[in-house]
Amino acid sequence: MCIGPDATLFKARAFIAAHIKARNFYMTDQNVMSRRDMLRKSVTAAAAAGLSITGAALAAATPNGAMSMVAGAKRSYKTFALRRSLDGVVTLTLNTQGSAFILTLDAYEELAAAFVEVSLDPDSRVLVIEGAGDYFIKDVDFKTFGDLSRSLGWLEVAARGRRMIQSLIDVDIPVVAAVNGPALLHSEVAFLADVVISAENAWFEDPHMHGNVAPGDGIHVVWQELFGINRARSYLMLSKRLSAVDAHTFGAIAELTASGDQAKARAAEIAHELAKKPAATLRAARYVMTRRFSRLLAEGIALGWYGEAISALAR
């Protein structure tokens, strides 16, 4: 019998609860390791009982959360590459068939799932987000979004987009962004990182107003918070291009590098240095320094996506 996320989940929950007492563990390095070992034992015990528990069921059924990576059943993603080093640095490379990343509807859903997966993995210590080729984010494929002339179509897009951004800010480990090139949309994916390293020739732009659509998918919250309310409103209203040099001057980018490859190398260097710190320190630091953004995004995206949908439907 295979217990998956849509099967008889209470059986998986009961089995894992019998072998893991994660609720009684505090978040220390020793206890994270202990919980991981117990997770493995629980899967072994379930197998002995004739139950095959999938990674998704394990994550849903485990007290305090667990992750499919731990059980060796990591989800396969189509819209980016995900890898983890031995010291716990997880690198997420945005790419489309090995080249520059093109946003699709599925990418929203997959990114949200990956951010949750990484957060729940006790072996993950730092997340690095980078682009492929010459871009961080190159374009969007609206054909994958379905019929956007209908309100229900927009509701689906809004739900997925909202989950992706909220899942990113709620990642439980430090995030380092390596902006290897321009981000022509959703630059908040980079700017929500704790440390942003960028190639000096990169730039950021929001295309919404070019298409007569309100910029309400999260960038309006992040840019106003980082760059100042009036400056952000001016850039977004006029669809002005923001250079990495200016973003660095405004304080949103920590360091500039001469090239995209150097940005990736520097981001990796920072991530591996951070990974040497205790797991509890890393997770607690990320948590206390993202709560303001989490609150702002929870409110701003809910309203913003509806403004975006209304303006698009009225064209």
- Per-residue pLDDT tens for 54-80? 443 443 433 333 333 433 335 678 889
Query: Does 67 reside within a domain?
Result: no
Query: Does 70 reside within a domain?
Result: no
Q: How many CB atoms lie within 10 A of CB 21?
A: 13
Q: 47 and 118: one domain? A: no
Q: 194 and 303: one domain? A: yes
Query: Under DSSP, is residue 78 helix (H, G, I), strand (E, B) or coil?
Result: coil
- Residue ranges making up the domain that contains 26: 2-61
Q: 16 and 133: one domain? A: no
Would you state the structure tokens that stand for residue 180, as one six-digit string? 């290897």
Query: Does 68 reside within a domain?
Result: no
Q: 94 and 38: one domain? A: no
| β-pairing verdict for 102-103 and 80-84 | unpaired
Q: 103 and 214: one domain? A: yes
* Stretch 245-264: mean pLDDT: 98
Q: 258 and 173: one domain? A: yes
Torsions phi, psi of 155, nearest 5?
A: -60, -40
The string over 156-167, giving b where at least 16 C-beta atoms fall within 10 Å of a residue's C-beta and e elsewhere, is: bbbebbbbbbbb
Q: 135 and 43: one domain? A: no
Query: Does 22 reside within a domain?
Result: yes
Query: Does 214 reside within a domain?
Result: yes
Measured distance CA(91)–CA(81) in Å, rounded: 8
Query: Does 291 reside within a domain?
Result: yes
Residue 211 per-residue DSSP state:
G
Q: 178 and 242: one domain? A: yes
Look up tokens 């220390």; give the residue.
Answer: 28
Query: Does 101 reside within a domain?
Result: yes
Residue 226: band (very low, low, confident or very high) from pLDDT cuts 50, 70, 90: very high
Domain count, the chain: 2
Question: Of the segments 24-38, 65-79, 126-140, 141-155, which one has the largest average pLDDT value?
Answer: 126-140
Q: 31 and 177: one domain? A: no
Question: Of the segments 25-29, 47-51, 79-83, 242-246, which one has the largest average pLDDT value?
Answer: 242-246
Give me the catalytic one of 188, 200, 225, 308.
188
Kindly report each contact of residues 151-156 with a partner whose C-beta sits within 8 Å and lies 24 or more positions away, as own/partner: 151/309, 151/313, 154/305, 154/308, 154/309, 154/312, 154/313, 155/309, 156/105
User: Active-site residue 308, yes or no?
Assistant: no
Residue 82 or 21, more confident: 82
Average pLDDT, the chain: 82
pTM, whole model, 2 decimals? 0.76
Q: 112 and 210: one domain? A: yes
Query: Does 128 reside within a domain?
Result: yes
pLDDT of 157? 86
* Stretch 188-195: mean pLDDT: 97
Q: 29 and 166: one domain? A: no
* CATH code where residue 239 lies: 3.90.226.10
Q: 293 and 148: one domain? A: yes
